[in-house]
Amino acid sequence: MIDYTNDDHLADAVQHGDIAAQEAFFNRFQVTLLKFAMKKGFSREDAEDLAQETLAVGFRTIASFRRGERIVRWLAGIEVNFMRRRWAAQSQDEVLDEGNETAASMWRFQQQAYTKARTLSPDEVKERARLWADTQLYMSLARNQMHMKVVQLFYLDKLTYPEIEAKLGLAKDTAKVYRQRGLKYLKKMRDAKPPEDSPRAKDS
Amino acid sequence: MMIEEVELDELDELDQLGARLSEAYELSGEPPSLGAIEFAESSVSLPERTSADIARFNAAVRQRIDSALRESTGAPSIGAWVQGARLDASLDEAAAAREAGVAVPAYRQFEAGRMPVWRLPAKTSAIFCRELAIDLSTLLRWASVSALGARHTPYGRLDARDEDRSKQLDTLAGESEAQFKEEFDVWRREFIAAYEGPSANDVPPQR
């Protein structure tokens, strides 16, 4: 009996045309993908469209899902790529015309980050890649994981302070201080001698 | 209230580091964190989805998959896809039918997309598909999508005047669905075993 709640087993079964796995694959992730797109400011209708497209691509490319990881993250990554294409194609005026202020502000936020990331010079891209590799390591080594959690939620997941408060139960001022301390720690680590297995150390 | 010891200059520097970190993350291609996904799940409310909503959603996903597979294979059905591979291999219809283990008229129905692949004998058709270098995973996933997509149960109806009859029809629909899934699954397992099994051309191991 196959355990469809186990991601690796589910992926293998989908890949081999198992009908029950196919149904489990669609049923298990559709609501999450819908909500994730709505959280990013998409309307219910657009979120349905994104979730359907994501599951269709996920189903067709299930062989590329790296076993041992979580399907939901892999699918959300595919969905974000579809979102980015829409952010790139849709003008801010169009979003505002739809009268959805949350969507418009989310659009501005995402569009800026996306556009900025795409217009960096090759040297800047290289520097960001190093920064990312080092940061992952420093984050895992940090003694105060709460500070890292706030940095992660604020800069990577792009949650607002009220959202961080809702998630972690931290008041805005406290979250701000944690964010600063988290960044201060990362900066200190960056300025210190690079760890031996970091790309920075290998380069130097 | 907490008082932070950070100087203004340093604040600016930290903000810049934060912004660069955001860009680095954007460029990394890293999927969203589980925390962000879980937060979306818990903070967005949706009206409860009925089984009809779910069925409609799933049917739309299957339709997208079917369209994409038609496009990537350049064929409107599995039968037409196999036909393309057969023609590339210069194999005539009669030989193909023989290898697939069915009569020529039935084989024609299959290539024309009027008979599903899982109605072909699993063992012989699997060996035939392997010889034509048909990709196993694509074929099985396409078969599973089109099998469920084309599934029209003759029983799942409501009898407006008779509740007992409606229940009976529901039961029949459920039984029919379960039977279909079981048949498909048996075929699928046999197909995989034959496709992945030893070929007639394989040389037996030397002692």
The full set of domains in chain A, from first to last, is 7-116 (1.10.1740.10), 121-203 (1.10.10)
CB-based contact, A155 to chain B, within 8 Å: yes
Q: How far is CA B193 from the centre of its chain?
A: 19
Give the dihedral of Cα atoms A60, A39, A154, A114; nearest 10 deg.
Answer: 60
Q: Check CB contact under 8 Å for B26 and A114.
A: yes
User: Angle between the A19-39 and B51-73 helix axes, to the nearest 10 degrees?
Assistant: 100
- Helices within B29-149 (DSSP H only): 34-43, 51-73, 78-88, 93-100, 104-111, 122-131, 136-149
Give percent of chain B above pLDDT 70: 82
Q: How far is CA B171 from the centre of its chain?
A: 27
Q: What confidence tens digit (pLDDT) does each residue in B114-161 have?
A: 999 999 999 999 999 999 999 999 999 999 999 887 664 444 444 556
Give percent of chain B above pLDDT 90: 58
pLDDT band at A127 (very low <50, low <70, confident <90, very high): confident
CB-based contact, A70 to chain B, within 8 Å: yes
> Model pTM?
0.79
pLDDT band at A96 (very low <50, low <70, confident <90, very high): low
Chain A hits for B194, Cβ within 8 Å: none
Nearest to B100 by CA among B74, B121, B77, B71: B121
DSSP A98: T
Among A80, A125, A132, beta carbon nearest to B32: A80
For residues B4 and B14, the answer to whether their CB atoms sit within 8 Å is: no
Q: Check CB contact under 8 Å for B49 and A187.
A: no
Residue A80 pLDDT > 80: yes
Give the span between the Cα atoms of B193 and B127, in whole angstroms.
10
Average pLDDT over residues B57-65: 96
Coil, helix or strand at residue B205? coil
Q: Check CB contact under 8 Å for B26 and A73.
A: no
Q: How large is the ipTM?
A: 0.81
Chain A hits for B185, Cβ within 8 Å: 18-20
Nearest to B20 by CA among A190, A113, A199: A113
Q: Which residue has the higher pLDDT, B39 or A48?
A: A48
Give the span between the Cα atoms of B136 and A15, in whole angstroms.
9
Distance from CA of A88 to the nearest CA of B (A): 14
Q: Which residue has the higher pLDDT, A160 or B185?
A: B185
Among A27, A36, A159, beta carbon nearest to B54: A27
Give the span between the Cα atoms of A148 and A66, in whole angstroms.
26
Closest Cα in chain A to B36? A157
Interface of B with A in 22-61 (CB under 8 A): 22-37, 39-41, 43-44, 46, 49, 54, 57-58, 60-61
Q: Which residue has the tokens 């505002």?
A: A96
Average pLDDT over residues A134-163: 91
CB-based contact, A141 to chain B, within 8 Å: no
Among B44, B49, B144, beta carbon nearest to A17: B144
Give the span between the Cα atoms of A201 and A78, in whole angstroms.
32
Give the span between the Cα atoms of A179 and A159, in whole angstroms.
12
Rg (CA), chain B: 27
Burial class from Cβ neighbours inside 10 Å (0-12, 13-18, 19+) for residue A35 reads buried
Nearest to B140 by CA among A29, A21, A30: A21
Interface of B with A in 138-157 (CB under 8 A): 139-141, 143-145, 147-148
Backbone angles phi, psi at B78, to 5 degrees: -60, -40
pLDDT band at A53 (very low <50, low <70, confident <90, very high): very high
Closest Cα in chain A to B46? A35
Residue B108 pLDDT > 90: yes
The reported pLDDT for the residue numbered A122 is: 83
Q: How far is CA B141 from the centre of its chain?
A: 4
